[in-house]
Amino acid sequence: MRRILTSLTLLAAVLPTTIQAQAACAERDMVVEKLEGRYGEVFAGGGLQSSSSVFEVWFSEEKGTWTILMTRPNGLSCIMASGTNWREAGPNLRTPAGIKS
C-alpha cells in the first residue's frame, strides 16, 4: 500500500509538468507571433540539433526576456525554456554572472 501511495504522489507531482510541456507547443507561426508581439522578442540565432529538430534562441533586449524554441519538420514548435535577465555576451565575457568558472 505504501508503494502505491508513493507512486501516486510521484505521478501527481509529474503530471502538471507534463501537461504544461504539452501546452507549450503550437504551430511555429503562432509561437513566433506571440514571441514578437507579446514579448517583443527577436530571433538571435539557432541551428539544427538533428534532422528532426531545429533550436532557436529568441530574446528581447528591452524587456530582458529570452526563449529557446524547438521546431520539428511538421512545423510544430515547442518552448523548451524561457526566462528573464537576458545579457549579451561581450568579447571578454566568458561566464554568465553568478556562475563560477
pLDDT band of residue 6 (cuts 50, 70, 90) is very low
Domain ranges of the chain: 26-83
User: From CA 15, how far away is CA 60, in angstroms rounded?
Assistant: 31
- pLDDT in the model for residue 15: 41
- pLDDT in the model for residue 88: 77
pLDDT band of residue 21 (cuts 50, 70, 90) is very low
pTM of the predicted structure, to 2 decimals? 0.67
User: From CA 71, how far away is CA 35, in angstroms rounded?
Assistant: 14
User: From CA 63, how far away is CA 87, in angstroms rounded?
Assistant: 11
Q: Which residues pair with 80 in a beta bridge?
A: none
Q: Which residues pair with 26 in a beta bridge?
A: 77
Residue 56 has pLDDT above 80, yes or no: yes
